């Protein structure tokens, strides 16, 4: 992209990483995305390529074998990858969130145990808050861990685990009996090690199978059923129970920047396809781009791409500077996902009937965009977070 979605003030290393990823996306992802997605095929070769580039350890500190890069670098990489195929960014996203939670909240032993193998892509992370009866209302979690003499026993059902079958380390948020008044203070994150695959993968732990989705194919999304699953107390993230909600919300905050970045990537690709098609397709004796109605669509799409990119970059930089970014990440996620849905829709319209054909990439992008309105918190939840933050900040003195 020559002009849109540029980022000022990047270091030489960031520029170099992005150039490498962009080339990888153009050569190894875009040409295969349609076929893999239509076949619901896991992109094993692409994942191997990402491992070789060190992308699984992009944000993991150098002392644990990672590249020690910032959230901004990660978000810009994700934007590029989603421009190629969103499912590939889904493979690394949950991994990145779990690595972030371990880096920020893990005990020294947990960091030592997992981060080096996560950086190498040997341990791959997924995370689980949602259950069949709740998603937005995280504090209402029912899956329960009960403390016994030699550890905890977990019972309950989790839902919507991205990479649930292909990961081997899942950060799971469950209810524990802390006796606290507020429900969210009775939640604990467990680090569940498990083999990859489906069925009863460990005694008392079943991954039933892939959920058949509208889009976002190739990457697996699963349930996770606990039935008397035994786990040691030292698998509690950070070693202390009752802190899980805080840990997960920190993970989700960086996850929201990541979802915003994905939305930017899909919107960029939709714009690229639309502006190309609009110059080739002729109606009434001229290219459709020469009809003002279409030219204006392109102008509006590009403006939305630019605005979303800048807000996403701002939210990432804020977090990198050590400040809380709940409001800014919420705003970036809200605007980027809503604009992404609008931009893909306009690109689809510009393609006329061909946009409805599975031969054209825009058909896939149209099915990918809606997920971003839901994942890591719906638009309504982002508005709740943003307004709460603003009301805290702008308290009335009257
Ligand atoms: C493909 C896919 C992958 C996913 N991957 C993961 C994952 O890896 N890990 C994980 O934990 N979860 C994952 N999720 C779950 C996702 O985070 C939830 O679906 C999402 O948070 C919404 O929750 P819900 O589906 O239960 O909707 P609900 O919470 O039931 O919401 C339904 C509707 O009501 C609205 N609503 C709810 N509460 C309010 C309110 N207070 N005010 C106004 N409106 C409200 C919502 O905005 C929405 O429109 C995934 C979901 C999908 C579809």
Lowest mean pLDDT of 56-60, 101-105, 179-183, name the range. 179-183
Nearest atom within ligand 1 for CA of residue 133: 26
Quote the percentage of the chain above a pLDDT of 90: 94
Cα of 136 vs centre of ligand 1, distance in Å, is 5
Tokens encoding 192: 């569940």
Counting ligand 1 atoms within 8 A of each CB, the residue from 96, 135, 262 with the most, and so the one to mutate, is 135
Task: State how far the Cα of 243 lies from the Cα of 224, in Å rounded to an integer.
Answer: 22
Question: Which has more confidence, 368 or 255?
Answer: 368
Task: State how far the Cα of 371 lies from the Cα of 224, in Å rounded to an integer.
Answer: 20
Cα of 351 vs centre of ligand 1, distance in Å, is 31
Quote the percentage of the chain above a pLDDT of 70: 100
Nearest atom within ligand 1 for CA of residue 129: 11
Nearest atom within ligand 1 for CA of residue 376: 17
- The mean predicted confidence, pLDDT, of the chain is 96
pLDDT class for 363, splitting at 50, 70, 90?
Answer: very high
Counting ligand 1 atoms within 8 A of each CB, the residue from 91, 126, 160 with the most, and so the one to mutate, is 160
Task: State how far the Cα of 183 lies from the Cα of 187, in Å rounded to an integer.
Answer: 7
pLDDT class for 181, splitting at 50, 70, 90?
Answer: confident
So what's the pLDDT on residue 256?
Answer: 93
Angle between helices 292-320 and 326-350 (to 10 degrees): 160
pLDDT class for 324, splitting at 50, 70, 90?
Answer: confident
Ligand 1 binding site (Cβ under 6 Å of any ligand atom):
94, 127-130, 134-136, 160-162, 213, 216, 221, 371, 374-375, 377-378, 380-381
Residue 1 has pLDDT above 70, yes or no: no
Cα of 109 vs centre of ligand 1, distance in Å, is 33
Counting ligand 1 atoms within 8 A of each CB, the residue from 130, 137, 222, 368 with the most, and so the one to mutate, is 130
Task: State how far the Cα of 318 lies from the Cα of 50, in Å rounded to an integer.
Answer: 27
Q: Of residues 52, 376, 380, 393, which has the active-site annotation?
A: 376
Asked if residues 82 and 262 have their Cβ atoms less than 8 Å apart, the reply is yes
Q: Which amino acid residue places its CA nearest to atom 50 of ligand 1? A: 160
So what's the pLDDT on residue 397?
Answer: 77
Counting ligand 1 atoms within 8 A of each CB, the residue from 159, 213, 375 with the most, and so the one to mutate, is 375
Rounded mean pLDDT of 338-351?
98
Tokens encoding 74: 């990660």
Cα of 158 vs centre of ligand 1, distance in Å, is 13
Nearest atom within ligand 1 for CA of residue 379: 47
Q: Which residue segments constitute the domains of the chain, with CATH numbers given?
A: 12-119 (1.10.540.10), 125-242 (2.40.110.10), 246-392 (1.20.140.10)
Q: Which amino acid residue places its CA nearest to atom 26 of ligand 1? A: 135
DSSP string across 330-388: HHHHHHHHHHHHHHHHHHHHHTGGGGGSTTSHHHHHHHHHHHHTTTTS-HHHHHHHHHH
Nearest atom within ligand 1 for CA of residue 211: 1
Cα of 216 vs centre of ligand 1, distance in Å, is 16
Residue 2 has pLDDT above 80, yes or no: no
pLDDT digits (tens, 9 = 90+) for 281-322: 999 999 999 999 999 999 999 999 999 999 999 999 999 999
pLDDT digits (tens, 9 = 90+) for 115-148: 999 999 999 999 999 999 999 999 999 999 999 9
User: What is the SS3 assignment for 227?
Assistant: strand
The pTM is what?
0.96
So what's the pLDDT on residue 253?
Answer: 86
Question: Quick check: is 376 catalytic?
Answer: yes
pLDDT digits (tens, 9 = 90+) for 188-217: 999 999 999 999 999 999 999 999 999 999
């Amino acid at each position: 992209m020559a002009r849109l979605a540029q980022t000022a003030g990047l270091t030489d290393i960031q520029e170099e990483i992005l150039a490498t990823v962009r080339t990888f996306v153009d050569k190894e992802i875009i040409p295969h995305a349609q076929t893999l997605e239509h076949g619901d095929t896991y992109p094993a070769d692409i994942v191997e390529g990402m491992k070789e580039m060190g992308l699984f350890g992009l944000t993991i500190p150098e002392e644990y074998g990672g590249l020690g890069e910032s959230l901004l670098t990660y978000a810009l990489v994700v934007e590029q990858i989603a421009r190629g195929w969103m499912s590939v960014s889904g493979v690394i996203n949950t991994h990145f969130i779990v690595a972030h939670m371990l880096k920020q909240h893990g005990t020294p032993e947990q960091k030592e145990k997992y981060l080096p193998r996560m950086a190498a892509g040997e341990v791959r992370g997924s995370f689980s808050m949602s259950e069949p009866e709740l998603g937005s209302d995280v504090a209402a979690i029912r899956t329960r861990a009960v403390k016994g003499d030699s550890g905890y026993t977990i019972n309950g059902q989790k839902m919507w685990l991205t990479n649930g079958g292909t990961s081997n380390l899942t950060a799971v948020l469950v209810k524990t009996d802390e006796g606290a008044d507020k429900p969210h203070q009775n939640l604990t994150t467990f680090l569940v090690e498990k083999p990859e695959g489906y069925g009863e993968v460990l005694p008392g732990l079943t991954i039933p199978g892939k959920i058949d989705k509208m889009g976002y194919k190739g990457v697996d999304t699963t349930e996770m059923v606990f039935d008397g699953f035994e786990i040691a107390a030292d698998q509690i993230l950070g070693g202390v129970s009752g802190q899980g909600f805080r840990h997960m919300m920190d993970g989700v905050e960086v996850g929201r920047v990541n979802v915003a970045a994905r939305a930017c990537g899909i919107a960029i690709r939709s714009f690229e396809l639309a502006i190309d098609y609009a110059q080739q397709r002729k109606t009434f004796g001229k290219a459709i781009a020469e009809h003002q109605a279409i030219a204006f669509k392109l102008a509006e799409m590009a403006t939305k791409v630019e605005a979303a990119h800048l807000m996403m970059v701002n939210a990432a930089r804020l977090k990198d500077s050590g400040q809380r970014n709940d409001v800014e990440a919420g705003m970036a996620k809200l605007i980027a996902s809503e604009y992404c849905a609008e931009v893909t829709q306009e690109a689809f319209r510009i393609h006329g009937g061909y946009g409805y054909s599975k031969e054209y990439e825009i058909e896939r992008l149209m099915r990918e965009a809606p997920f971003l309105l839901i994942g890591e918190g719906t638009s309504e939840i982002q508005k709740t977070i943003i307004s709460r933050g603003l009301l805290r900040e702008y308290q009335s003195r009257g």
